[in-house]
Structure 1
């Protein structure tokens, strides 16, 4: 889709304090600039509205206030401006109040020092549970670096695109984009045969109304959500935990089987001695219902090389 008659809109959004925009989006610094990226104080990503694809650029001039620029083929309606505002809010968890989390972990000296260093960090959430679920399937038994390379190829191969000022940007594929693909096309992106099957079958199940991710997202408890996701072929406990954490912002979910998370917990709590999932859960007990967010803080702290 080429934006020959490009329209630009802007809106301002405020986050609940405390919020540090740079810390919260720094995780995207290594992102693909044609998909999602943070660079020179700007974050950009293509989002979907009823009026089509929109390239959204987000900047922060001070701690809690964001400026959102939207480039599209036509002037966006008030409904779609509101929709984009809600999506940006969800992506950055702007409505989350971090203060209860900080109070919860005050007795944990290690986590307390880390949150002091990363004050205002909020974890990102994907626009949809579908996106989080597909990514989690792709990342099964792979390093994040390898998985992200595969995910980027999948997005560029099957996701719709827009062209702005000569630059092409891609949106995440939908179930319709995956449902009728030949498995070999997914395998050509680096996915295994089984993962290709899982992603295609998930997409078909959604289109055939056999899988309702919206209803799963409305369940009362995180465990109920994970249990329902685990009924989907190819989704185990780790995949379900990761998907609800990333896609629904269920911060009580702790994917303790995740090697990277266990490494980060071990680094700060056990002097890099390898720990089991049960040991990780035991350490995480002090974090209450904020286990997933605390785990994210540890991963970011490790990536940044913080000494605490």
Structure 2
């Protein structure tokens, strides 16, 4: 029988966790954070919805079940200072290979491999970004390390508001994901592609998603299970346009979803969801206008963002929550 929890977070070039960037104390991992970094800014982003089901926040601490290599450890993440993250296992310390993958997951999730200095330099002279970087200093592009989870979230969020997207996500997770109990608390793990790949549209009817979205989810899950879609195949040297083209060739994936996945999962800095409604609303907010910017206007406004489009988008979104 296939182990649907066996997920290994491979070390792609931009997100490889350096050996000197973390310390393995068995029950607790220490991840060193390159400045500028603000745990509180990132925690604020993660707390933007009270309907989030894949992690829990209590005060200044973050709790999550992370499925890796057949194990699902539950961790507490905190930062006594912004120079390091502490990742504490709430149960027994898992084996060394699992600890290493958990460290890799958290490193990727918080995008600790990206130094923001150059982005801040360009943003200081940018009309749209200068107030954002001053107000949200140390915010990282919080990611979605698991490809199927990122693809699912992109598909679910197509043409609906964020509140309803979180409702659909919870239904999907609680219907087909895994439940982990620890000390009387329940933690949920996103459904593995192997689970969704075996379903029919009728199996997903109770979620109240459109038939098309159900078909898209199942189709993407099947591609991943068949080995036709993976982070490695998409990365292919880090060519963003090439990766976007591969994703758009998949049924149900358009430019917005493709760039969202490349931005949040593959960490491609040039990924740019230019058609994103949230981006348009953020630009309207910063400029103090009621008119939606045209694509030509956005391209002109973003002309200096080359290589940082994904971060510019993420920082502009911050004005909306």
Q: TM-score, normalised by structure 1?
A: 0.90
Taking a change above 3 Å as real, the CA distance of residues 33 and 287 of structure 1, as seen in their structure-2 partners, is closer
Offset, 1:66 = 1.1
Maintained 8 Å contact 2:155/2:253: yes
Within 2, Cα distance between the matches of 1:228 and 1:9? 41
TM-aligned CA distance change 1:209 to 1:51, over 3 Å? closer
1:43 maps to 2:65: no
Q: Does 2:43 match 1:25?
A: yes
- Separation in structure 2 between the aligned mates of residue 111 and residue 209 of structure 1, nearest angstrom: 40
CA distance in 2 between counterparts of 1:286 and 1:271 reads 22
State the shift of 1:279 in Å: 2.0
Is 2:152 aligned against 1:128?
no
- Identify the residue that residue 206 of structure 1 maps to in structure 2: 224
**Structure 2: distance between partners of 1:178 and 1:61:** 39
Verify the 8 A CA contact 2:54 2:64 in the aligned structure 1.
yes
Query: Quick check: 249-258 or 133-142, which moved more?
Result: 249-258
Partner of 1:56: 75
In 2, the alpha carbon distance for the partners of 1:129 and 1:250 equals 14
Q: What is the alpha-carbon distance in structure 1 between the residues aligned to residue 286 and residue 160 of structure 2? A: 23
Alignment match of 1:224 (pick from 235, 242, 245): 242
Q: Which of 82, 97, 108 pairs up with 2:126?
A: 108
With 109-118 and 41-50 compared, the bigger mean Cα shift is at 109-118
Task: Choose which of 186, 192, 213 in structure 2 pairs with 1:174.
Answer: 192
Check whether the contact 2:177–2:188 (CA below 8 A) recurs between aligned residues: yes
In the TM superposition, residue 157 of structure 1 has moved relative to its aligned partner by: 0.9
Describe the shift of the 1:128–1:219 C-alpha distance in structure 2 as closer, same or farther (beyond 3 A).
farther
- d(CA) in 2 for partners of 1:24, 1:166: 27
Give a deviation string over 1:175-213, Cα, whole Å, max 9, x none: 111011131232311211011011111111222233344
1:284 corresponds to which residue? 302
Q: Aligned ranges for residues 183-202 of structure 1 at < 5 Å? A: 183-202=201-220
> Is the Cα–Cα contact under 8 Å of residues 150 and 265 in structure 2 kept in the other structure?
yes
- CA pair 76-51 structure 1, distance change in 2 beyond 3 A: farther
The residue aligned with 1:78 is: 96
Partners of 1:108 and 1:94 in 2: CA distance: 24
Matched-pair contact (CA < 8 Å) for 1:130–1:213: no
For 1:51 and 1:203, the matched residues in 2 are separated by 19
| 2:42 maps to 1:10 | no
Contact 1:267 1:273 in 2 (8 A): no
What secondary structure does 1:288 align onto? Answer: coil
Name the SS of the counterpart of 1:116 in structure 2: helix
TM-score of the aligned structures, taking structure 2 as reference length:
0.87
Distance 2:56 2:269 in 1: 24
